[in-house]
Chains A and B, each alone.
Chain A
Amino acid sequence: MTALASTAPRRLSKAATASGRQRSLVASCVIYLCVAVFAIWILLPVWYLVVSSLITPAQLGVKPFPMMPGSITFDNYLSVLTGSTGSKGFGSTDIGARLLPAIGQSFFVSSVLVVLNLTIAGLAAYGLSRYPFRGSRLFELSIIISRVVPAIAIIGPFFVAFRVTGILNTPWALIISYNVFTLPLAIMILKNYFDQLPREIEEAAKIDGASRLQTLWIIVVPLARPGLVAAGVLIFLEAWSEFFYSLVLTNQLTVPPLLAGFQSVQQFNWNALAAATVMSMIPPVVLVIIFQRHVVGALTAGAVK
């Protein structure tokens, strides 16, 4: 207690002087009040979701909602994970049995896209950055414009083409169609990253007799690793989050359309849906928090272009 009380003001004053001037007590109070409002704004819906996933349907019906539940249970997670949907009031849907496969498919689609896009976009971005050709500016411009093409405007032809080729309702339909938005994103981010890398080492390698491809592979790829990681995380995030293509082109193959389908079933269990939603939120959130620094840097560089 006393230890806490003695360290807190010291850390506070250190933090305050970091800005160059001592902050007044009133200013500090205002700031901490704002921080509290900020934290509540972010955490309240998340807290509601997490609590919902940890209580029983009976507790859920209590008014007002038990923000601090008296008892918690992991039954919702268990029933979703084991797929034992019968006795838990899941209604007519078998979401429990399909959630883990959907998570697996989401991982598969996202991972294949990351590898594919880092290769194709990486080559393109390097070409645009170091060896601009006639029409490369136009290409960059059309990439930026492609971000405003509504998914809904191009889904029809995809649907027809995938039905004809027989890959409708397979992960490949998504891996192909997701390129529409992940590839431009990856090219923009990586081009920007390559632009910021110093070119002296590449020139030295060239003078030492390395070919352009050798230079790319031996010198640039290791230097660009943080940029590649950031672009990879963002591609993964986009693919993991995508809903519309997956809704139209597959039968609830990945997580988002599965959850959406579960939600619209007449008899369902919000506690179990909450548990499924929590589990599906964890991979992207954890991934971004781990690579926070890289990702935010790449995001700003890519977006500001």
Chain B
Amino acid sequence: MAASPLSSNALTRDDRRFGFRLTAPAGILLAVLLLVPTTLTILYSLHDVPANGRSLGPFVGLENYTIVLGSSVFWRSAWVTFLFSVGFVVLSTLIGLAMALLLNQPFIGRGLARALLIIPWATPWLMIGILWKWFADGSVGGLNAVLLMLGATTDYHDFLSDPNSALAITIVAAVWRQASFAGILLLAGLQTLPGDLNEAASLDGANLWQRFRNITLPWLRPALVTVTVLNVIYAFLQFDVIFAMTQGGPGDATQVLSILIYRQLFGVTQIGLGSALAVILGFVALAGGLITVKLLYARGSQPA
């Protein structure tokens, strides 16, 4: 029988044209919605755009970029973004891994526990910010009540108005959501791990740590890479949680780049500068994702 077009590489020209036609509406829509605004933003970033945004204004070349890169506000904000990202990525990934390993064990009520894992992930980011803002509040907060109960503090503390703790609390809130997301993905990865692999290893006398190190971890590596890359991107682009909790304050303690851009664009309406910042943030997010892929796969190529 002649090779069927569906199962072989022998697609006819007509088949390929059919595939193109099916994909075209989505392609056109995305091109219009993504390429056009992105191009415009890059154009904005090269002009001294008037505050009303009615026209591009005079072309200034890379001046917006030199202003941004030369300002201490930008570097301070980049540093806050970096701190937030490191805390967010490390904690989300590790706590997610721990949750996945735990929920992969047989125990009574496991189904219910797995359903619990869904709650933070399904909750909108903004509402997570609102929830944690009040949970950490200095006068009505549940967090203070718990710390008081545990004897860790003697009085209520306003974590979010204290520059030293504000960033930490926003990280915890964001991690609360993202660890669950990581846990869901990693648990799905663990469930495909063949049980007899572990069994054979334990018969050979491998202990818990050796089995984790030599079987589970290599098996999870692709899922871990995915989760970590997604966490890095989420970290750089995070806006909702911080906006809801601190709006970047107190002072500039939690002013990550996305908040700074928001302020530039809609607070002080410096559209040219804000656009330059947005372009920089996009590249940082892309670079962060690519570097993470590279690093993790490079480590993965070593013998486990």
Q: Which of A139, A150, A241, A273 contacts B126 (CB 8 A)?
A: A241
A12 to B199, CA, bound (A): 20
- Which residues in chain B, 121-165, are within 8 Å of chain A measured between CB atoms? 121-127, 130-135, 139-142, 144-146, 148-149, 156
Query: B25 and A120: CB pair below 8 A?
Result: yes
Report the interface size for chain A: residues with CB under 8 A from the other chain: 109
Q: How far is the CB of A176 from chain B (nearest CB, A)?
A: 7
The verdict on A156 contacting B26 (CB below 8 Å), with A133-B16, A177-B33, A284-B123 known, is: no
Q: Which of B6, B30, B125, B236 contacts A241 (CB 8 A)?
A: B125
Interface string of A89-118 (1 = CB under 8 A from B): 000000000000000000000000000000
The range of chain B's interface size is 35 or more
* Residue on B nearest A47 in the bound complex, by CB: B142
The verdict on A244 contacting B142 (CB below 8 Å), with A148-B282, A150-B285, A237-B122 known, is: no
Query: A61 and B140: CB pair below 8 A?
Result: yes
B120 interface contact, C-beta 8 A: yes
Q: Which of A212, A240, A289 contacts B18 (CB 8 A)?
A: A212
The verdict on A38 contacting B29 (CB below 8 Å), with A48-B142, A65-B144, A277-B131 known, is: no
Q: How far is the CB of A28 from chain B (nearest CB, A)?
A: 8
* Residue on B nearest A131 in the bound complex, by CB: B19
B215 interface contact, C-beta 8 A: no
Interface string of B1-33 (1 = CB under 8 A from A): 000111100010001111111110111011001
Q: Interface of chain A, helix or strand or loop or mixed?
A: helix
Residues of A in contact with B (beta carbons under 8 Å apart): 8, 11-12, 15-16, 18-21, 28, 31-32, 34-35, 38-39, 41-49, 51-52, 60-61, 63-65, 67, 120-121, 123-124, 126-128, 130-134, 136, 139, 143, 145-160, 176-177, 179-180, 183-184, 187, 199, 202-203, 206-207, 212, 237, 240-244, 248, 255-257, 259-260, 263-264, 270, 273-274, 277, 280-281, 284-285, 287-289, 292, 296-297, 299-300, 303-304
29 sampled A-B residue pairs with Cβ under 8 A: A28-B107, A31-B107, A32-B107, A41-B176, A42-B120, A48-B131, A48-B135, A63-B145, A121-B26, A123-B22, A124-B26, A131-B19, A132-B16, A148-B237, A149-B34, A156-B271, A157-B37, A158-B37, A183-B26, A206-B6, A241-B125, A256-B124, A263-B133, A270-B134, A281-B122, A281-B127, A284-B124, A292-B114, A303-B227
Residues of B in contact with A (beta carbons under 8 Å apart): 4-7, 11, 15-23, 25-27, 29-30, 33-34, 36-38, 40-41, 44, 53, 99, 102-103, 105-110, 113-127, 130-135, 139-142, 144-146, 148-149, 156, 176, 180, 184-185, 188-189, 195, 199, 202, 222-223, 226-227, 230, 233, 236-237, 239-240, 243-244, 247, 258, 261-262, 265-266, 271, 274-275, 278-279, 281-282, 285-286, 289
